Amino acid sequence: MNPTIDAEVGAYRETLVYERINDAVRAVLPADINWHRSTTISSSRLGVQRMTAPADPSATPPRAEYREADDDAKRRYILALEAFSTAGPYGAYLFHALSAHPHVKDAGVYGPEEAFVDPGHAHIVVLSRIGNGVPTQQVLDSVSAKLSPKDARPLTDYVDVVAAAITDYVIVYHLEIPRGPDPALVDRQPEAELAIYAAARHRVGAIVADSGLDAAAHRPGVERALRSQPPAQVDPGLQGAAYCTSITVTYEVVGD
C-alpha cells in the first residue's frame, strides 16, 4: 500500500472522530443547544422541560397551542442552577417565576434596595406573553404559588407578585429613499426590523431607545429615516413594560 495514501486515510478517520466528539460537546452547551434534540438532557440534568399550554378556542381572540421557544427555554435552563439555593438570589426568583406558568414571558425581581420595596420583601413584576402583556389573575396566582412555599424561598422573605404596568406606544417613520431600487421593497425591511426590535423590548423594565429605533429603521437603501413617534425614548419604569400597538412606515423617493 502506498504509505502516503495510508497516512491520508488515517488522518481522515481521526478527523471524523474529533468531529463527532466536538459535535457531541456542542450539543450540550447552552449556546448551541437544539432544544428539540436536547430536551432529555436538560430534563435529566436540571429538571427543565419545555413549557406548553393547550389551545383555547373560547378565549378572545382564540389562542392556539403554545410551545415555549428555544431561546426562552435556554434562558430558563441557564437560570436553573440559581434555583438550587431556593429562591434567594435574583436568578433563582427569576427562574421560578418564568417556570410558574406558560404565559409568563418575563419577570422583574426587586428587593429592598429599590424604594418601592419594603424591607424583608421580594417584589416580583410579571409580564404575560398574551396580548399587551397584562397577566391574568390565574397567572399571578401561579407565580405566587411557585414562589411562596417554605422550600422555595428564604424564611425571612415575603413575596409580593404584581402585574407589569403597560406603557403603550406607536412607531411612525417617514423614509427618504433615493432613486434606484424598488422603494416598496426597501420600505419592507425597516418595518420588519422595527417589529423585531419592538418585540424584543417588550420586557419588564426595558427601555425602547431612540438609537435602537433609528438603527432598525435606517436599513440599506434608506437615505434618511425620520421618526415622528415616539418623540423620545419610551421608559416604562422598573415595574412596567413598553408595548407597541402599531407600526406605520411611509416613504418618498428623493433625488434626481
pLDDT band at 141 (very low <50, low <70, confident <90, very high): very high
Pick the last residue of a domain from 116, 137, 163. 163
Pick the last residue of a domain from 163, 184, 215. 163
155-180 per-residue burial string, b: 16 or more CB within 10 A, e: under 16: eebebbbebbebbebebebebebeee
- Number of structural domains (the chain) is 2
The predicted structure's pLDDT at residue 221: 87
The predicted structure's pLDDT at residue 46: 66
pLDDT in tens, 91-127: 889 989 999 999 999 999 999 999 999 998 999 999 9
For residues 222 and 183, state if they share a domain.
yes
Secondary element (H or E) of residue 109: strand 104-110
Which range marks the domain in which residue 57 is found?
46-163
Q: How many residues are there in the chain?
A: 256
pLDDT in tens, 226-236: 999 999 999 99
Share of the chain above pLDDT 70, in %: 89
Residue 175 placed within a domain: yes
Residue 244 placed within a domain: yes
For residues 85 and 59, state if they share a domain.
yes
As a whole number of Å, the CA-based R_g of the chain is 24
For residues 134 and 201, state if they share a domain.
no
For residues 231 and 193, state if they share a domain.
yes
Convert 119-158 into a string of H (helix), E (strand) and C (coil): CCEEEEEEEECCCCCCCCHHHHHHHHHHHCCCCCCCCCCE
pLDDT exceeds cutoff 90 at 254: no
pLDDT exceeds cutoff 80 at 171: yes
Pick the last residue of a domain from 163, 189, 204. 163
Residue 1 placed within a domain: no
Q: Amino acid letter at 96?
A: H
Residue 103 near residue 136, CB atoms below 8 Å: yes
For residues 158 and 170, state if they share a domain.
no
Q: Amino acid letter at 15?
A: T
Residue 204 near residue 129, CB atoms below 8 Å: no
The predicted structure's pLDDT at residue 50: 77
Residue 215 placed within a domain: yes
DSSP 230: S
For residues 70 and 159, state if they share a domain.
yes
Residue 27 placed within a domain: no
